[in-house]
Amino acid sequence: MMYYFDHSATTPLHPRIKELMVNVGELHFGNPSSIHAPGQKAKTLIETARGQMAKAIGCSSNEVIFTGGGTEANNLVLWDITHQQKKHVVTSVIEHPAVLNVLDNLEEFGVTYTAVSVDEAGVVNPEEVKNAITEKTGLISIMLANNEMGTIQPVAEIAVIAKKHGIIMHTDAVQALGKISINAKELSVDCMSFSAHKFYGPKGVGALFVRKGFQLKPLIIGGNQERSLRAGTENTSGIAGLGLAAELATKNITDTQFHLDSLTNAFHKQISNLFPDAIFNGHPEKQLPGLVSISFPGFRSDLLMIHLDRRRIAVSSGSACSAGDIKPSRILSAMSIEDDINICTLRISFGIGNTLQDVDYLTQSLKSSLEQIRSAA
């Protein structure tokens, strides 16, 4: 049995979604662009999923575009800035590589960007975003919740600033759906990115909210699928899976939040008793449920992960390990966390399938692992 505590990386496919996708793949394989019955049935399934996704995020069905994942959704928005007169982007230092690396690559097309800092809890200051705006700013892209820390950002407040200055507002919400309530109208954003595999759906399929009236240029040219924004025959089974995943994730969100909070609180309590020197990173309140960033000073995260893996426990680290070397996490560094603490940090992300007994096993395994590492030193 594997004890999986890495749900921020990906989630297991929900059994109901697996059943649906197999059914769609076997029985409803028609091309959605075809006018015959099998094609129209596939098209109906896609539109049903579009409605499910729209309901999950509080928007209209015609504001949902299906993509190949969160990375593609981000790219679709970011590349559009190359077609605009105003080519300056305001973002943050803690964005996912699917935002920052894209912006780096867009520099050869005349795009520039300013990455604002975060405080010691990992939260962006809206005033700093406001101060970074120039007469050439055409886009603001700030994630809704950070994938490593779980800090929830003041996106709605930043969107007000963007609107006041006539600037496009995008948020990467990949980590947030199914953990916190999301309403596109309340957030007042123009675009918002999602990925199904983060909320118990399939990999390789995502969605982009595009506010009605806002025009984007396509990345992939070809047919007229997805309002001509994403050419290519649709992944019907994947899209159907995303739709059901979004429905289930939001329908049960209150229960999910309670469950994840219970697991997190139990973990906090046990760790605080066993390891008083452990450091919990991030904001105490503006935090995704179920995501914990914790540092064990003096114990490198790569060694801890090896010991935990031997005990059939899957967790992750923000640090990059390569050829025996370990590099500090840029997210933690942005929060002014010293390198010697940074490289001793684990990310533990609970899911709906975890139990309090799993938490007990995790904390006892951490205790044993730390003792073994200490004795071997």
CA–CA dist 154, 193 (Å, integer): 16
CA–CA dist 369, 132 (Å, integer): 45
Record the tokens describing residue 268, joined without a space.
Answer: 């906090």
CA–CA dist 146, 135 (Å, integer): 28
CA–CA dist 181, 191 (Å, integer): 17
- Annotated active-site residue in 59, 191, 321, 344: 321
Q: Is 59 tagged catalytic?
A: no
CB 170 within 8 A of CB 120: no
CA nearest neighbour of 287 among 310, 261, 321, 255: 261
Place of tokens 């059994």: 15
CB 149 within 8 A of CB 293: yes
CA nearest neighbour of 134 among 191, 90, 168, 92: 90
Catalytic residues: 321
